[in-house]
Amino acid sequence: MSEWFVEKLNMAQHLKTQILVEKKIHSEKTQYQEIGIFDTVGFGRMLTLDEVIMCTEKDEHSYHEMIAHVPMFSHKNPKNVLVVGGGDGGTVRELVRHNILDKVDLCEIDEKVIEASKKFLPTMSNQFSNPKVNIVIEDGFKWVKNHKNHYDVIIVDSSDPVGPAEILFKEEFIKYCYESLKEDGILVNQAEHLILFTDIIKEILSFGKKYFPIYLYYNTLVPTYPGGCIGFTFFSKKYTPFENTTQRWNSENFENWNLKYYTKQIHKASFVLPKEIIQELELPEVSLQ
């Protein structure tokens, strides 16, 4: 018999997400959090951490394609990449599509998330054994602190800023990411919903602006997150998100990848934001020309 799963986290205060589930097929308390795996009625299998929705099979593509392909097509030569978090595997699944990639380090603090994803989420975790993927079970904060001038792209595929991911939203972490990137590096962070959590985005941007000359925010649609969308901060030492795309799109021939969400138009349009958000976040306006 189906029942409603109601998200426990109340970050948006007056708004919660609920989703109809058929059954809970796995539950596990780890050193860091409670992992839940559900079969939903309309969204396929779902991963939750501490009773917050991380991803569902039906709509994870819009999140994982955008967190991976926007920085990968913005950078001129993204060979060495770090993913912090991302234990479900969706982000590395997208990254290994890029022929230019030599290696991706997946730094996940909770080994049990990776194990559960391997077992219950095969469509997301199916590239963990790709030879370009190096899985590291480690605190992402410590990892970036200890890897200076190392990566072309860093992607922070985190949960919300409570519990184990809280530290990934702090200035010190952004600073260590900056130092861990090479001189033309790009950092992308999961940065919440543009209207519900403008204050969180504002804070992350205020940290990033101190180090990166290029700072932006872009958006994607994820119906199973509160408010139906989520965005990412984009910090770059050298490249705008647009100057290398033509060369990179041509060299990867990505239109044969059969993606579900990411397109050339969406790459650009995702940076176009509502007027009040641009003003509140003090972001430069993006031209569609």
Binding site for ligand SPM (CB under 6 A): 11, 52, 54-55, 63, 86, 88, 90-91, 157, 159-160, 190, 192, 225-226, 230
CB 1 → ligand SPM: shortest distance, Å? Answer: 27
Shortest separation between residue 165's beta carbon and ligand SPM, angstroms: 9
Nearest 5°: the CA angle 126, 128, 132 is 120
- What size, in residues, is the chain? 289
Q: Identify which of residues 62 and 180 has a Cβ nearer to ligand SPM in the complex.
A: 62
> Is 23 exposed, middle or buried (CB count within 10 Å of its CB: 0-12, 13-18, 19+)?
exposed
CB 285, min distance to ligand SPM, A: 26
Report the C-alpha gap between 129 and 109 in whole angstroms: 18
- Annotated catalytic residue, options 88, 110, 152, 157: 157
Residue 140 Cβ vs ligand SPM, minimum distance, rounded to whole Å? 13
When CB distances to ligand SPM are compared, the closest residue is: 225
Q: Exposed (0-12), middle (13-18) or buried (19+): which is 275, by Cβ within 10 Å? A: exposed
Within a 10 A sphere around the Cβ of 84, how many other Cβ atoms? 29
The least distance separating ligand SPM from the CB of residue 15, rounded to whole angstroms, comes to: 9
Q: Which is nearer to ligand SPM, 63 or 218 (CB)?
A: 63
- Residue nearer to ligand SPM on the CB measure, 110 or 157: 157
Q: For ligand SPM, which is the closer residue by CB, 5 or 286?
A: 5
The b/e string for 201-237 (b: 16+ C-beta within 10 A; e otherwise) is bebbbebbeebbebbbbbbbebebbbbebbbbbbbbb
Query: What's the closest the beta carbon of residue 11 comes to ligand SPM, in angstroms?
Result: 4
Taking the least distance from each CB to ligand SPM, the nearer of 108 and 152 is 108
Nearer to ligand SPM, 54 or 205 (CB): 54
- Hey, what amino acid is at 252? E
Q: Is 157 a catalytic residue?
A: yes
Enumerate the active-site residues.
Answer: 157
